[in-house]
Amino acid sequence: MESGSGSHFFAADVHIGASNDPEGLAERRFTAFLNSLPADTEGLWLLGDIFDFRVEYRDVVPRGGIRALGALAALADRGVKIHYICGNHDWWMSDYLEKELGAEIIRERYVLRDVGGLRLCLGHGDGLGRRSLAERFIFGLFRNPVCIALMKALPPRWVFAFARNWSASSRRRHKGYRFRGEEDPLYRFADGLGRSERVDAYIFGHQHTPVEADIPSGGKLYVLGDWSKGENYLNLSGMYISGRSLPKIDI
């Protein structure tokens, strides 16, 4: 499906509600960014982990994030289409944003879309490329429908407490991640996909490390950074992608 001629913005890894951000600075930065989007904005692509955890029930949603949710609602009311790709911290969303904002909730590991005249591969980034056995096990466990149903059968208070602790533990374990060039799983995934599909750009999050790199099989890889210290986003307008805090990486 080809989009129109308006601007499209891409962001990931805000981690609203993170325990290491008690003052909510990342949410405030993200909200200011949402409120500043220009009038020609057509699409907003949220590539996962916008919330530090997000577990939704039919009648219960987590508290917090009200500033960002209000800004998203204002964008939806303006006619901006919101696309939300679930990440490893917010996989357990249900249909809250879909019903309230008309958002498209995407659960695939990646999707190929024609956006603004470019063929894009979009995803959060987890589960792509060659991963360790432990990573593949956790990826499958957290997305298993039976495990999710069992988890949601527990009282929300227990589940939210577990999710907060797990998020904090995950953040400590992955502190200091660095892009690994040709050996990076996302780089290898993009190069492999590009040998069978025409892709102009690959846009992911997850690694918390901003990257722009050329892919041997064609196209560019963009990895969005997190919002812990400042804005990190891409703007696609007129078939041109520009970004905030995306260094060029020579492979």
Q: What is the pLDDT of residues 32-57, one digit of tens each?
A: 999 999 999 999 999 999 998 887 77
pLDDT of residue 172: 65
The confidence score (pLDDT) of residue 132 equals 66
Residue 53 lies in a domain: yes
The predicted structure's pLDDT at residue 177: 66
Q: Domain range spanning residue 34?
A: 7-240
Cα 182 from Cα 251, distance rounded (Å)? 7
Has residue 180 been placed in a domain? yes
0.85 cut: is pTM over it?
yes
Whether 45 is in a domain gets the answer yes
Query: For residues 222 and 200, what is the distance between their CA atoms, to the nearest angstrom?
Result: 11
Q: Can you name the residues that pair with 119 across neighbouring β-strands?
A: 114
Work out the burial of residue 128: count CB atoms within 10 Å of its CB; fewer than 13 is exposed, 13-18 middle, 19 or more buried: buried
pLDDT number for residue 104: 97
Point out which residues pair with 214 in neighbouring strands.
220
Cα first-last separation, the chain: 33
pLDDT in the model for residue 75 = 98
Question: Does residue 248 sit within a domain?
Answer: no
- Taking Cα atoms as reference points, which of 150, 109, 101 lies closest to residue 126? 109
pLDDT value for 182: 87
DSSP calls for 31-62 = HHHHHT--TTEEEEEE-S-SBS-----SS---
- Count of the separate structural domains present in the chain: 1
In a domain, 213, yes or no: yes
Q: Residues 6 or more apart from 147 whose CB is under 8 A from it?
A: 141
**Strand, coil or helix: what is 121?**
strand
> 245 lies in a domain?
no
In the prediction, which pLDDT does 61 show? 77
- Check: CB of residue 21 under 8 Å from CB of residue 65: no
Helices (H), ranges, 102-224: 133-143, 145-152, 156-173, 185-193
Q: Which strand (E) or helix (H) includes residue 220?
A: strand 220-223
* Ranges in the chain, pLDDT < 50: 1-2
CA 54 to chain centre: 13
* Cα–Cα nearest to 15, from 89, 101, 105: 89
Confidence (pLDDT) at 240: 84
pLDDT in the model for residue 191:
96
For residue 251, tell me if it sits in a domain.
no
25 located within any domain: yes
pLDDT at position 131 is 65
Query: Tens digit of pLDDT for each residue in 203-220?
Result: 999 888 899 999 999 999
What's the longest Cα–Cα distance across the chain?
49
Please state the separation of Cα 236 from the chain's center in Å.
16
What CATH number did the domain enclosing 185 receive? Answer: 3.60.21.10
